[in-house]
């Protein structure tokens, strides 16, 4: 019985190309109590592997977080399987704005301590006591309210390429960091301000809203289904789009274009650009923004040093990597000091204090 992926990305890509069938990229999450996570994981893998599902799925005792793709012709069978599981019956599925048959090339179903790394002690508060969920139309109305503070619950490299007009974008590397920063900067406004939050698909706001209510915030709101569902409603119902730029996604597409605005810049030359790439040096793999001109000039590398290493024969590169741990830059997502136009590291909450709280 196969319980793990056995094909390489290249082998899977060839099979997808050969099949020539349209695939759907989608995501969903659900907080629920799962007793036997390993058994649930294994059963899920067996069923989804039979449906040619590919993606990254996390299972924990607190629930499931899934980002995946599957053949469009098998969508109904997939949905029927979800509906056969009590806590997934009727679950909202966030269908990707931009489809790509190669968005995922492996099926990875992993058991984790949590479905989102938040660093919180969930026993200390009621995770079901969540904020008010808002549709795209109601979100726009709340965003326009002068008594509202809108906070992007994503990381700096996500908001750098796209965010809502007027939103505060915390300059953080992790979701956990933003929780403490937001509480600290808004502690004196817990009762009178509307705390409006959004993220990619809603899962981070789901936990954050319960956390902030536990911390004493009275008026907590979140965008239902995140940016993905917001965009669907905007397109379907003719609602004014308040999101500028691209929505960062965690698959091989890297981003979905929500508006035509390019709000970011190449980290190497500073020209307007908003497409992420990974440094071609296997010992680095730093995620950063690199325009086509710099990509050609730097051979898809983030520095001259990486370019020189990448130019070496493969065996020499392997020798250089022996005994070496990954560079810390791999976790910085565009923070590396050698990138002259990396995101400004100023305290973004200075904007909040001057432009929002004092109004």
DSSP E strands in the chain: the ranges are 23-31, 54-60, 63-71, 94-95, 107-111, 132-134, 148-152, 162-164, 194-198, 219-223, 243-248, 255-257, 276-278, 287-289
Calpha distance 189→151 (Å, rounded): 14
What are φ and ψ of residue 112, in 5° steps?
Answer: -125, 170
Calpha distance 167→247 (Å, rounded): 14
Q: CB 165: neighbour CB atoms within 10 A?
A: 14
> Which whole-number Å values give the CA distances from 343 to 169, 179, 283, 305, 339, in the listed order?
12, 20, 23, 21, 9
Convert the pLDDT of each residue in 309-334 to its tens digit.
Answer: 999 998 888 888 876 665 544 445 66
Convert the pLDDT of each residue in 191-211 to its tens digit.
Answer: 999 999 999 999 999 999 999
Taking residues 51-76, what's their average pLDDT? 96
Domain parsing of the chain, residue ranges: 9-111, 122-240+345-357, 276-331
Convert the pLDDT of each residue in 2-23 to its tens digit.
Answer: 898 889 999 999 999 999 999 9
pLDDT, residue 2, reads 81
Three-state secondary structure call for residue 209: helix
pLDDT band at 51 (very low <50, low <70, confident <90, very high): very high
Asked, colleague to colleague, whether 9-111 and 122-240+345-357 share their fold, the answer is no
* Catalytic-labelled residue, pool 150, 199, 284, 302: 199
Q: How much is the pTM? A: 0.85
Mean of pLDDT over the chain: 90
Q: Check whether 71 has a pLDDT greater than 60.
A: yes
Which CATH number is 9-111's, of 3.40.50.720, 3.40.50.1110, 3.30.70.100, 3.40.50.300? 3.30.70.100
- Residue 269 is among the residues annotated as catalytic for this protein: no
Taking residues 42-51, what's their average pLDDT? 97
Three-state secondary structure call for residue 70: strand
Convert the pLDDT of each residue in 210-219 to its tens digit.
Answer: 999 999 999 9
Q: Check whether 350 has a pLDDT greater than 70.
A: no
Calpha distance 182→176 (Å, rounded): 11
CATH fold of 122-240+345-357 reads Oxidized Rhodanese; domain 1 (3.40.250)
Q: Cα dihedral angle (139, 157, 13, 301), rounded to 10 degrees?
A: 160
H or E stretch including 230?
helix 226-237
What are φ and ψ of residue 355, in 5° steps?
Answer: -95, -20
Calpha distance 300→294 (Å, rounded): 8
């Amino acid at each position: 019985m196969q319980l793990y992926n056995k094909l390489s990305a290249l082998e899977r890509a060839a099979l997808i190309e050969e099949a020539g069938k349209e695939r759907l990229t989608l995501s969903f999450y659900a907080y629920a109590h799962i007793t036997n996570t390993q058994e649930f994981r294994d059963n899920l893998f067996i069923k989804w592997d039979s449906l040619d599902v590919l993606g990254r799925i996390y299972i924990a005792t607190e629930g499931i977080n899934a980002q995946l793709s599957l053949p469009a012709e098998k969508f109904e069978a997939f949905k029927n399987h979800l509906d056969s599981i009590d806590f997934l019956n009727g679950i909202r599925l966030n269908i990707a704005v931009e489809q790509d048959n190669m968005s995922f090339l492996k099926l990875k179903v992993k058991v984790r301590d949590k479905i989102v790394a938040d660093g919180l002690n969930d026993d200390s508060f009621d995770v079901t006591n969540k904020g008010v969920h808002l549709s795209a139309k109601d979100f726009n109305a709340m965003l326009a309210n002068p008594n509202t503070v809108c906070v992007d619950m994503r990381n700096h490299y996500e908001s750098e390429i796209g965010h809502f007009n007027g939103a505060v974008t915390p300059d953080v590397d992790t979701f956990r960091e933003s929780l403490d920063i937001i509480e600290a900067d808004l502690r004196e406004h817990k009762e009178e301000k509307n705390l409006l939050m959004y993220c990619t698909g809603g899962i981070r706001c789901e936990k954050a809203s319960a956390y902030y209510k536990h911390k004493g915030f009275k008026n907590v709101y979140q965008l239902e289904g995140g940016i993905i569902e917001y965009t669907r409603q905007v397109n379907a119902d003719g609602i004014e789009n308040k999101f500028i730029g691209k929505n960062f996604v965690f698959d091989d597409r890297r981003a979905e274009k929500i508006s035509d605005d390019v709000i970011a810049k190449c980290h190497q030359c500073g020209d307007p650009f908003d497409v992420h790439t990974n440094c071609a040096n296997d010992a680095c793999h730093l995620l950063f923004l690199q325009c086509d001109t710099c990509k050609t000039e730097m051979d898809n590398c983030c520095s001259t040093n990486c370019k020189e290493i990448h130019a070496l024969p493969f065996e020499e590169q392997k020798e250089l990597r022996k005994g070496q741990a990954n560079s810390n830059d791999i976790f910085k997502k565009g923070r590396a000091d050698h990138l002259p136009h990396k995101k400004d590291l100023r305290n973004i909450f200075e904007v909040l204090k001057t432009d929002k709280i004092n109004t």
